[in-house]
Structure formats: C-alpha cells, structure tokens
Amino acid sequence: MRKHTMGLLAMAAASTLALSACGSAEVGEPTGDDTAAAGGETIRIGIKYDQPGLGLKEGSEFTGFDTDVARYVADKLGYSEDQIEWAETISANRETALQNDEVDMIFATYSITDERKGLVDFAGPYFVAGQDLLVAADNTDIMGPEDLEGKNLCSVSGSTSAENIKNDHAEGVQLVERPGYADCVTALASGAVDAVTTDDIILAGLAATEQNAGKFKVVGAPFSEERYGVGLPDGSTDTCEEVNTAITEMIEDGTWEELVAKHTEGADYSPNEELNPPEPDACE
C-alpha cells in the first residue's frame, strides 16, 4: 500500500512539472524581456476591424493589407492561421492594449512616433503612407492640397488631417466632418464634398471596395510621412528582430508588392516609390 501511494505521488509531481513547463512557453506569459519570440500555442494580434483594404472584419473573416502582413509575419514566427487570435485595437487604445498584455503585437496603421516609442516598442516599418486626397475618378481640378481653396473637404471627426490642410495649404477650404471615412466617401459620391483626406493607403482601401471600384482615385501627391510599424510590448527586442527579418523576407520574395496590389485594386493607386518598400529600423 505504501509503495502504491508513493508511486501515485511521484506521478502527480511529474504531471505538475510537465504542465508547468508547457505553460511557461505560451505567448502572453512573460519569459524574460520578451514574449512572442518564445513561441506558444497562440499569438494575439491586434488589427482594425473597420478599415476596408487594411483591417476589416466581415462576419468571421478578417481581410486587408495589415491583416495579411500580420499573417505572413506570424507564419514566419511559427504560427499557423488557426493559432492567431485576432483582437480589435482602435487607435486610442493601442498602447493600452500592449501595456495591459491584451495583445502580443499590433498591425493597425500604427504610425511610429517618438512619443509612442517612449511607451511601446516597434518593429518595421512595413509601409510608409502619406496624407493624400481622394476625389472622383474624373476629377482633373484637384491635383494637390493647394487646389482645395473654396472647396469642401471631408475628414473624420476628431482627425487633424483636414486642419493640417487648412493651416498649411489652403486657408479657404471648407471643412466637413463625418463619423467615419465610409461616410466621407458617401458624401464624395453625392457631390456634397469635393475631396476626402487621410493616409493614402487608407483612401486606396476605401476606393478599392466592390461598391466603390472605378468611382474614385487617390490624387497621388502625398504631403506627409506615416511610417506604419508593428506595435510590441516594451522590452520586446528579440521579437522585434524576428519581425524585422520576416518583413525583409516579405519584401524580397515579392509578397509585399502582391499584397499592396491585391488590397488597392481598382483604386488607381501606387505607393510612393521613394519611400516604399521600406527598410525596417534597427531594434532598440
């Protein structure tokens, strides 16, 4: 009886050790200064759910350039499609999501800035966007922000994009705000506004939707630089280097170019060739 009891205790101890070892490698549980680089059963990736062509959730499907870049990177890190847990990360909550361990990384038109780098880490950039204008496909009057004098310009409520144009390029522009960019595109289609402004690839994604294809065009005269990076928790140097390696491979094997074309088809859009494809920054 004693031998039997001792055997059961030994088996229980071995099981506890085995479970502990398995659990320590899962993404999201700290393993030193890094998490996602350690691998695990799943990886939690934050994306936008409401940006056609970039990050969009339709039913159970997740589509867009950002989303496909995330899939490519996850695959290079050793995660299959069914090991990805998608999470919505709106612009205002991206740093919080990383700091609170709600996601392991973020691909969500996340511009790299010095202020944000003080709170989180970044890999990339994987794309360099620029503020631009969306106009009707047959519009030949608006070639840049200076041509907006006296015209109606739509942007999303709370955005600084339109204010930047008014302050720096066309003082007489009439600003129109809408709750979302889809609402701005509707206003453009009806003639209520003459142009819509935000980052060029966001505009291209809107123009490339099935209902909008062929109706609009991106002017193609960007007047800012927005370097989209992969948001990571602070202290993710190893993961940053792995993600940068994946981004470089994506560019070199032609996948990056294919994904840009796929998600902007019908928008009459090409990314700024002087800035794209980008070379990832050194990890800090």
| pLDDT averaged per 10 residues in sequence order, the chain, 284 residues | 37 39 39 50 96 95 98 98 96 95 97 95 98 96 97 90 94 94 95 97 94 93 95 98 98 98 90 95 95
Note the CATH architecture for domain 38-128+226-264: 3-Layer(aba) Sandwich (3.40)
Residue 214's alpha-carbon distances to 100, 121, 147, 203, 268, in angstroms, are: 42, 39, 22, 13, 8
State how far the Cα of 75 lies from the Cα of 65, in Å rounded to an integer: 15
Whole-number pLDDT of residue 32:
38
pTM for this model (two decimals): 0.81
What's domain 131-218's architecture? 3-Layer(aba) Sandwich (3.40)
pLDDT at position 20 is: 38
Radius of gyration of the chain (CA): 23
Are 210 and 265 in contact, with CB atoms under 8 Å apart?
no
Residue 212, classified by CB atoms within 10 Å of its CB into exposed (0-12), middle (13-18) or buried (19+), is buried
- Residues 122 and 112 sit within 8 Å (Cβ to Cβ): yes
pLDDT for 34? 53
How far apart (Å, rounded) are the C-alpha atoms in residues 256 and 249?
9
| Extended strands (E) in 157-266 | 174-178, 195-199, 216-218, 226-232
pLDDT at position 225 is 94
Q: Residue 121, Cβ neighbours under 10 Å: how many? A: 23
- Are 129 and 260 contacting, i.e. CB atoms less than 8 angstroms apart? no
State the virtual CA torsion across 110, 114, 115, 116 in degrees, nearest 10.
30
Domain range summary for the chain, segments of one domain joined by +: 38-128+226-264, 131-218
Q: Quick one: which H or E segment has residue 262?
A: helix 255-264
Instruction: In whole angstroms, give the CA distance from residue 54 to residue 63.
Output: 7
pLDDT at 40: 66
pLDDT tens readout for residues 78-122: 999 999 999 999 988 999 999 999 999 999 999 999 999 999 999
Q: What per-residue confidence (pLDDT) applies to 36?
A: 56
- Contact (CB, 8 A) for 121 and 241: no
3-class DSSP assignment, residue 103: coil
Residue 18 confidence (pLDDT):
40
pLDDT at 160: 83
